[in-house]
Amino acid sequence: MKTIKFSAAVDSVLAQQMARDPRIVLFGEDVQALRRNLFVRFGARRVRNTPISESAFVGAAVTAAMAGLLPVVEVYMVDFLGVAMDALLNHAAKTYAFSGEQWSVPMVVRAPCGGGYGDGGQHEQSLWGWLAHIPGLSVVVPSNPADAGGLFLAALEHPHPVIFMEHKLLSDTWLDFLAGGSRSTISFDIPTSGAEGLVPNKWQPIPLGRAAVCKTGSDLTMISVGVGVHQALEAAKILEKEGISVEVIDLRTIQPLDLETIIYSVDKTGKALVIDEDYQQFGLSGELAAVLLEAGINCQYARVCTEDTIPFNRQQESQTLPNLERILSAAHRLVD
């Protein structure tokens, strides 16, 4: 075991796999600079800068995958997938089905996501539930370096398209790049155990669709993903002192969902609190409610999500994104 940073874990798996599997190519805007350590090792044929043309290069990744490559295509932020949505919605996600399940599209879209560093509502979205709505896409959102590496390895091994999301608050390189994180004058609410952590000496894939129970408990189940997991753990610690025993589930992958773990836990506690940094309506939090009801679990349910466009103002931003205060008060409402 060794301690490394969040994005370094992903890069380390990517380097390892690129060395093993010549099919892997990496492209995106500025990746020769952003992933320069991969660039100088694997060269310009396999690490390619693109023009600012997301719809063309995400679209190209689809057929590159179909024709035998394994593209890792990187976008600056998940928000910018708006311009490339057709490639995901109508091509990456559908080719396997259209071809009568004869032709698959093994590609990984690597996209920073999430807010909490004051960059405004066009640059801090999560959108994981939104992407997961589309049949044919898997969506992965790790919350710590070990999961990031293991899930990225699984994403590379997956025969179908995977959206792999890196929360910017967990990534020191993205924070430097996008938040002026090099300034000593600014600070962020970084979950330290998410930004840096122990990882195995030898990477093993973490299967998609397997949630992690980060903490067991009996009174209330908190279900979350990404930075929300750390907020849940923090809240759990506080609630524990009040005598409330909280179970915390890190979904790790949004699509597929680990129904078993979710249902087992909520069946036990009878109370589900979803903490979801993505938009509240018609997304992950709703889906979790549906799978619980479908399983016949009668539970008390609450959710703390992002309800509106994320404000630039730091205070309003932190009110709009899930925060500890809102989580605690929702938990209290459920338990009382």
Q: Kindly identify the residues of this chain, within the stretch 104-163, that bind a copy of itself according to CB under 8 A.
A: 120-122, 129-130, 132-136
For residue 330, how many C-alpha atoms fall within 13 Å in the half-sphere facing its CB?
A: 27
Please name which of 309, 236, 310, 308 lies closest in space to residue 273, comparing C-alpha atoms: 236
143 binds, among another protein, ligand TPP, a copy of itself, none (CB under 5 to 8 A by kind): none
Q: Which lies closer to another protein via its Cβ, residue 50 or residue 126?
A: 50
Instruction: Work out how close the CB of 178 gets to ligand TPP at its nearest, in angstroms, rounded to a whole number.
Output: 10
Provide the CA 72 distance to its chain's centre, in angstroms: 16
Stretch in the footprint of another protein (CB under 8 A) among 83-91, 136-144, 148-156, 222-230:
83-91
Whether 332 sits among the annotated catalytic residues: the reply is: no
Sheet of 70-74: strand order equals 47-49, 24-28, 70-74, 108-113, 162-167, 138-140, 253-255
Six-digit token pair at 96? 């396997």
Cis amide bond preceding 191, omega within 30: no
Q: Quick check: 83 binds ligand TPP (CB under 6 A)?
A: yes
Q: What are phi and psi of 311, to 5 degrees?
A: -75, 155
Q: Kindly identify the residues of this chain, within the stretch 218-277, that bind a copy of itself according to CB under 8 A.
A: 254-255
* DSSP-derived 3-state class of residue 311: coil
Six-digit token pair at 301? 């349910």
Instruction: Work out how close the CB of 139 gets to a copy of itself at its nearest, in angstroms, rounded to a whole number.
Output: 9
Q: Kindly identify the residues of this chain, within the stretch 57-76, that bind ligand TPP according to CB under 6 A.
A: 76
Six-digit token pair at 15? 């380097």
282 binds, among another protein, a copy of itself, ligand TPP, none (CB under 5 to 8 A by kind): a copy of itself
- Catalytic positions, written as ranges: 123
Residues that bind ligand TPP in the complex, under the rule CB under 6 A? 29, 52, 54, 76, 80, 83
